[in-house]
Amino acid sequence: MVSKDIVFRVKQLREQISYHNHQYYVLSKSEISDFEYDLMLKDLEALEKKYPELINENSPTQRVGSDVSEGFKQVEHKYPMLSLANTYSFEELDDFHNRIAKTLQEQWQYACELKYDGTAIGITYRGGKLLRAITRGDGTQGDDVTANVKTIRSIPLVLSGNDYPDEFEIRGEIFMPHAIFEELNTIRVEQGEAPFANPRNAASGTLKLLNPQTVAQRRLDCLLYFLLGDNLPFDNHYQNLTKAKDWGFKVPNSLVLCKDIDEVKEFISKWDEKRKELPYDTDGVVVKVNSIKQQQQLGFTAKTPRWAIAYKYQTEQGSTRLLSVDYQVGRTGAITPVANLEALQLAGTTVRRASLHNADQISLLDLRMDDTVFVEKGGEIIPKIVGVNTDLRKPNAKPLVYATHCPECGTELIRLDGEAKHYCPNQAGCPPQIKGRVMHFASRKAMNIDGLGEETIELLFSQGFVNDIADLYDLKYEQLIGLERFAQKSAQNAIDGIEESKKVPFHKVLFGLGIRYVGETTARKLAMHFGLLCSLKSATFDELIGVDEVGERIAQSIVNFFSDEKNLKLIQRLEEAGLNLRIEEQNKTLSDEKLNGLSVVISGTFSRISRNELKELVLSQGGKILSAVSSNTDLLIAGDKMGPAKLNQANKLGIKIISEDDFFTLIES
């Protein structure tokens, strides 16, 4: 029987951890250090492991998620999850206002809030505890993603106070903050994966993953904006949401009451520019009649409530004709479909191509050849197809059939479980994969071989001089001097660059090998942990997952790489060529690393060293490089001409900011 002291200690730890979760993830405040928080969490985990009868599904320890998921079951919504009618003009907003005026006899107010660009969720609480979380689905029923939603730390598992209804539903938007999105895409690119197109896709895709542990690692966030239930505390939307803050919910501070349609327009105009400063995506403003009684009077259409409307900010969009679809092959064999379009002007540039991402995206759009498609520039940079004008579709148009074989080598494509991309498995014989691996190996972040750009490698491959990365070290000056792109100086520079690359540190060689999922940071961690390539080569799966930041997927990829006889022969040739396949003794000690475990953002220009050299120095001191400032940032190294947005965000979050000179003082102390 568990003693009362243990029961009390577990209860106390859960309450303390939940309190600090709310302070940090909802209120953006931190009363204790990460170290103190981790100690409390480890203490609770240890007690629950020792006394399993005390484990509670709403314990903070359960946020990390389970390894096992049996898929998502469909659950019917208690209250239909309808869409909102959209408008893009103040004239249509006036029409909405006039329709309400014809129905309501008394005065009314509008509640205005930003429209968040993520994925909608409905969360039910019973007895103050999170019961279930359901996606929108078709509006009538959605997927039960409760296990994944429990990993989102801004969503309370147990409510604060005691004045909440016994059962109610709260709805909101799950999203991925910009900083997390940039960090995730940086890692995906490093690991040879296609980056997510935008934070909305990343959030939606993450929420549908079957492994809650992976969901937890991606640090989704949630803003709540609507209460539903029989015994809500107030008869109006604004006060109910304000009260929900007291229960622990993350309710947007932008929510305001407007007494008339002119104030609504002022709110919309104000946020058209101001929203760009937010750390997450918004695409409009939601306008709701505040009184619940008046909402009921106004009622619903078959698809939308008559008492609410979404004003959407204009995104520059154009329509053009889909001419064809190409399939590009990356160095990892990943296939990316690309749409070829009739040229159109969009956001000041001529657009002729747009990424289609994967087969699922093509199926979702229901694309046909010669379709008239709508194209937007996501974030004003990346062109994307967002829809099809079916009114202009030819009667006999047939759906696009995704490629079944590699467009380069003819090998049948495969699609791995849990992955959106198709792959060409012919690593040894597919030309784009071979050339891509050589380009990656010679790139600045890997071996940094001058004079070996894309066109040069293309030439060397076409001449039969280079078919893998080891062939680079067999090249002779006499072979190059006779080629079209090489004069005496350029030929000698290339040979010298290849020779100089033999001095490159072991972790860069390891990154250059192009092992799937092994990016710059992971390569450095592996190099520091094992010291020698031969030790890494013989490491077991269990030994690999014991390395910091190496999960099961990376570990299995490494095991697979070193199980391939072709790769082993390749490494033997690199060793014979004299490459650096071990960590220098003086670099093995971690105890002297001044930035060990710290997440660092570098911004601006620097006088003493370049940004890349500064990045290398941070990594060599045990730091981790982030691309954007977030609550996970420990240090911002600020140079000249740094962007004001990063500086403001760092100041807002209380992140330590140091200059270039301060940094050198720190690491030399």
Q: Is the dihedral of CA 209, 229, 26, 162 positive or negative?
A: negative
d(CA 285, CA 87): 10
> What would the two tokens of residue 665 be?
């003082």
Instruction: For residue 609, report the phi and psi dihedrals to the nearest 5 degrees.
Output: -145, 165
Answer yes or no: are the C-beta atoms of 354 and 339 closer than 8 Å: yes
Q: Environment class of residue 224 by beta-carbon count within 10 Å: exposed (0-12), middle (13-18) or buried (19+)?
A: buried
Answer yes or no: are the C-beta atoms of 595 and 560 closer than 8 Å: no
Residues in the chain: 669
∠ CA 433-435-441, rounded to 5°:
100
Q: Which of 119, 310, 318 is nearest to 223 (CA)?
A: 119
Instruction: For residue 361, report the phi and psi dihedrals to the nearest 5 degrees.
Output: -65, -40
108: CB partners within 8 A, 6+ apart: 100, 289, 290, 291, 294
Strands 624-626 and 599-603: parallel
- Long-range contacts of range 324-330, CB-CB < 8 Å, 24 or more positions apart? 324/369, 325/356, 325/362, 325/367, 325/400, 326/407, 327/403, 327/406, 327/407, 328/432, 329/406, 329/407, 329/408, 329/424, 329/430, 329/432, 329/433, 329/436, 330/192, 330/194, 330/432, 330/433, 330/436
**Distance from chain centroid for Cα 252:** 22
d(CA 595, CA 618): 7
> What would the two tokens of residue 604 be?
């601006």
Q: Which of 237, 218, 219 is nearest to 111 (CA)?
A: 237
Instruction: For residue 273, report the phi and psi dihedrals to the nearest 5 degrees.
Output: -95, -40
Answer yes or no: are the C-beta atoms of 384 and 338 closer than 8 Å: no
d(CA 59, CA 150): 10
d(CA 328, CA 430): 12
Q: Which of 240, 235, 230, 239 is nearest to 297 (CA)?
A: 235
Phi/psi class of residue 65: alpha, beta or left (left: φ > 0; alpha: ψ in -120 to 50)? left
User: Is residue 115 annotated as part of the catalytic site, yes or no?
Assistant: yes
The single-letter DSSP state of residue 524 is: H
Instruction: For residue 410, report the phi and psi dihedrals to the nearest 5 degrees.
Output: 80, 0
Q: Which of 4, 49, 73, 115 is catalytic?
A: 115
501-523: b (≥16 Cβ within 10 Å) or e: beebbbbbbbbbbbbbbbbbbbb
d(CA 22, CA 279): 18
DSSP assignment of 8-23: HHHHHHHHHHHHHHII
Annotated catalytic residues are: 115
